[in-house]
Amino acid sequence: MSGIKGRVYAITGAASGIGRASAIRLAELGAGGLAICDVNIEGLDKTKELCSLAGTKVVASTVDVRSQQQVQKWIDNTVAEFGRLDGAANIAGIAGGAGDTTCATIEESDWDRMMDVNLKGVMWCMRAQIPHLPRPGGAIVNISSTSGLRGFPHNAAYSSSKFGVIGLTSSVAGEFGAEGIRINSLLPGPIRTEMFEAGEAKGLFDSEKISKLTCLGRMGKPDEVAKVLCFLLSDDASYVTGGESFSSIGNVSQRFDTFQRNGPSMVGMLPAEERITGLR
């Protein structure tokens, strides 16, 4: 994969799941430096340790992406440390938390938290990152979700935030494309992350049901998403910008549509009264 070696990348949500897998993949591809952040300090330290095995210099920072000030300081410190910033992967996000609520019953605090992390956080990150990116050659990948393509009952906040990431990404890509900066969104489907496994252990998710709804008959793995993300950051994707790329294991299919029509629960979930939303 060309154009990764020696370059410096900033990654949010790097303490686990897709964020950790992406950081490790970039390190294995020879990235010259990684600035990783999260609110999970223990997980972040583990990611730093794993990335350092590849010989990549890694700086880990505790950052709440809801805070513009924290994000700006993080990026400024990154550039001061490495002398450059070539690209970024904005992965930090949350899922669920609103339980079995509807538009009529969701708490304002639950709605605001979802939007602040999943959507506003991406905006603050791009706002801080773009001024430092090389022109041409800079690249950003923002994580959305296949839930950003269609809504599901009892999932309004999460889906709305992920729809928003797609629109935000497309708009900003148009604003900076003439300067040679590429910005894309990546839409994972059901991925077996630590967050998913913790939910399944509590009986909140059913991986067997989810797997049956995918064309390949299984859930995706974080490193499979990371490979697509790294492609989008690389020079091999030099003519790809403003679009939505999928790492969905074929779950956006007729099976997916049929489930939505025939059942009230989100794809692969337990009955609504036992469910929390979000798959990523």
Is residue 73 part of the annotated active site? The answer reads: no
Distances (CA, A) of 53 to 33, 45, 182: 13, 13, 29
Choose the catalytic residue: 48, 73, 158, 209. Answer: 158
What tokens appear for 244 in the block? Answer: 């939505």
**Between the CA atoms of 33, 38, 41 and 42, what dihedral angle is there, to the nearest 10 degrees?**
-80
Rg over alpha carbons for the chain, rounded to the nearest Å, is: 18
Integer Cα distance of 270 and 277 in angstroms: 10
Is residue 158 part of the annotated active site? The answer reads: yes
Choose the catalytic residue: 5, 162, 221, 227. Answer: 162
Active-site residue set: 158, 162
